[in-house]
Each structure stands twice: as structure tokens, then as C-alpha cells.
Structure 1
Amino acid sequence: MASGQVLYARFEDVYVLKFVGSIGFTDDWTFPLSKSARLFIDRLLGQDDYENIVVDLTECDGMDSTNLGLLAEVGRLSMDRFNRKASILVPEGGRMMRNLKVTGFDALFTILDVDTPIRGDLEPLREVSDSELSVARMLLEAHQTLSNMNESNKLMFKNVIEALEADVARLESEQGGSGTGNSKA
């Protein structure tokens, strides 16, 4: 999958998270875009000075399951914090719309059929590298979030989660369980 870009902006009391291009695994095991999105979500968790989150997928060509899991965390954050769904903007009939429907994103998001992307002063998330153990934990958590959305996802990602759990256990064992995921960037 070719590399994409993750952008963000704040418009008054609304955060916008925009995914452009193909978002997913690259040749770099560190998943720098995924880690950047993870840190952005963590930052949102620690803030209470906004009222809504909008995700723009109008220019997203595709997204791997790790990033879908991170996106699901945005939806869960909105439900937990505001007791309402965040919004996703996505063109009808494309691959992204199909992926969102198949994985049950309508439970966490209001999915809006929009062809026009959000424009404005959007800034790219800084790519962040991390330890192999920290990345493995992020991958596991993202897939667990995606799996917990519905029974179909539980079946779909069962083997992936088992493999990731084994990978995390192996890495923890190799590092004596002390891998805290200190950033290299």
C-alpha cells in the first residue's frame, strides 16, 4: 500500500482528522502514521475543550485494519465523551464506504455521503517511530477495538488478534516485559 497522509485541524470547537491516500502498512515496521494517529487520539482523550470530531475520508484511497481500529477508537471516544456519534465524510459507493459498512462503523459514527473534501488550514500529523514492542501493542489494541465493535468483526479478526497477542508476549519476554514504548523520534 502506498503511503498516505493524516492531517488535522481545529475549527472552533470541532477537531477534524483527515486521511489522504492509502493509509496503512509501509515497508517501515514502525507504522509511523498509525503511531501519529494513536498519539493524536491520546491527546484528544486528555482534552475537554472541544465538542465534536469529524473524520474526512473523501480523499482516502484505502485503510488497513490497524488504522480502521484507530478510527474506531475516535468513534468510541466521541460516544464516551459526548454521548453522540462522531461524523465520517466519505463518498458513497467507494471502497471506503463498503469497508465502513462491513465492519459496522455506523454503530460509532454518523456516516455522511460527501464528495467534497474539507479544505482549510490542515496540518500533517508528525510521523512518529517507536519501539517494536510499543508498535505491537498498538496493533493489538487497534484490532481489539475493531473486533469489539460487533460479532462479525470478532470472527473476522480472531486469528489476527491471536497472532498479535503471541507477538506481544514474545516481545515482552525478549525484553523482560519492560518495553514501555519510548519514542525514538
Structure 2
Amino acid sequence: MEQGTVCFARTGNVVILKLIGNIRYQMGPSLDDYLDHLFARGDFEDILIDLTETRMIDSTCLGLLARIANNIHDRFGRKATIFSLHDDIDRILEGVGFSAVFNIIHGDLPLDCKMEKIADCDETREELAKTLYNSHRILCDLNEKNRAAFQNILDALRDDVPSISPPAPTTNEEKDKEDRNNKK
């Protein structure tokens, strides 16, 4: 299956991300790097995500989209927006609970902008694993259904990559669970 493309454009203070074709985990580090730079600059008021030409999107890239939702919510107190035309993509978005964190519009993005491909980055195996881990952690944090679906991926990545350490427990229940696991 041919790998897709992630493009961006700016119109005023709005950034548009367009995901074209089959969007897979191999593209994650490049998208993650683009988001790091975009969020560090902070020179935008909205991010519109165009999935109208997306044929498939995997959980890694869904986690990176959830990262966008978190940023928009934290900075502006509102939901980010996704445009989608395909029922199968809509089912994927609904399946991971995106309707709770995104405005999902079933139609074309009403802007016509010159798109530019995001830069590819050369990542190491460890950097790819960290992107996979962080994007799945964000998905798990969205809801319990996602946690049940993706926790095994987080566990496997933590076991496989020594530099990935689990986040510190934040509640007494989580601390008790971690203590029980450490005693095994």
C-alpha cells in the first residue's frame, strides 16, 4: 500500500493540514516534528484538518491529530475542526471518540490554498518508538475505550525501548496499582 502525504498551508492565522492517501505510522515522526515547531511558534489561531482525500489513517497518526485537539483546547478553550467526506474515515474518527474533542464536518474544506508538503525527518528507531508511544498515550488519555484498545501497545513499546518510561501515577489508585505491579 502506497504511503500518503501530509501537506500544510496558511491563510492568515489559520493553519490547514491536509492528509492525503494512506496515512501510516511511518509518517508520524515528520508530522510530530512539524507540530513541535508549529506549537513552539504559536503563531496561529486555528488548525483545520482536511481528511477529504484520506483513504486510511492508523492509530499513530490519530494520536497526533488528538495532540492537535489538545493544543487547540488548551490554548483557545474550543474544539479543533476536521473535514471528512468518507464514511469509513468517519467511523474511525467516531471509534476513537474524536467527536468529543473535534468538530467533525462532513464536507469539503471551503478554502482553496496552495499546499506544501511537510518536511520528512530522518528518525532513528528509538525516535519512531517515542512517537508511537506518545501518540498512543494521547489516544489512551481520550477515553477508557481507547485505553483498553491501545494499552498493550504502550506496554510493548515501554518494554522494547529503554528510554521510554511510564508517566508517574497521578492518583492514589494508580499508585496502588503500580505498587502491586512492582511487587510481582
State the partner residue of 1:137: 130
State the partner residue of 1:20: 20
State how far apart, in whole Å, the 2-side matches of 1:4 and 1:53 are. 20
Match 1:56 to one of 33, 42, 50: 50
Closer, same or farther: CA 70–166 of 1 in aligned 2, 3 Å: same
Alignment-mate amino acid for residue 112 of structure 2 = R
Alignment-mate amino acid for residue 151 of structure 2 = K
**Matched position secondary structure for 2:44:** coil
Closer, same or farther: CA 117–128 of 1 in aligned 2, 3 Å: farther
Closer, same or farther: CA 116–51 of 1 in aligned 2, 3 Å: closer
State the partner residue of 1:34: 28
State the partner residue of 1:89: 83
State how far apart, in whole Å, the 2-side matches of 1:99 and 1:17 are. 18
State how far apart, in whole Å, the 2-side matches of 1:168 and 1:63 are. 24
Alignment-mate amino acid for residue 80 of structure 2 = A
State the partner residue of 2:118: 125
Closer, same or farther: CA 118–63 of 1 in aligned 2, 3 Å: farther
Alignment-mate amino acid for residue 74 of structure 1 = I
**Matched position secondary structure for 1:155:** helix
**Matched position secondary structure for 2:94:** helix
- Please identify the structure whose Cα radius of gyration is greater: 2
Alignment-mate amino acid for residue 148 of structure 2 = L
Gaps of 5+ in 2: 165-184
**TM-score normalised over the length of structure 2:** 0.84
**Aligned partners of 1:59 and 1:117 also within 8 Å:** no
Q: Which runs of 4+ in 1 moved over 6 A?
A: none
Match 1:67 to one of 61, 70, 84: 61
Matches within 5 A, 1:168-179: 168-169=161-162, 172=163
State how far apart, in whole Å, the 2-side matches of 1:21 and 1:134 are. 24
State how far apart, in whole Å, the 1-side matches of 2:34 and 2:136 are. 18
**Aligned partners of 1:6 and 1:20 also within 8 Å:** yes
Q: 1:2 deviation in Å?
A: 2.1
Note if 1:107 corresponds to 2:88. Answer: no
Alignment-mate amino acid for residue 17 of structure 2 = L
Question: Please, what is the CA RMSD of the aligned residues?
Answer: 1.6
State how far apart, in whole Å, the 1-side matches of 2:52 and 2:99 are. 17
Cα deviation 1:122-168 (Å, max 9, x = unaligned) = 10011112111111111100000011100100001111111111112
Gaps of 5+ in 1: 26-30, 174-185
Could you say which structure has the higher helix fraction? Answer: 2
Note if 1:147 corresponds to 2:144. Answer: no
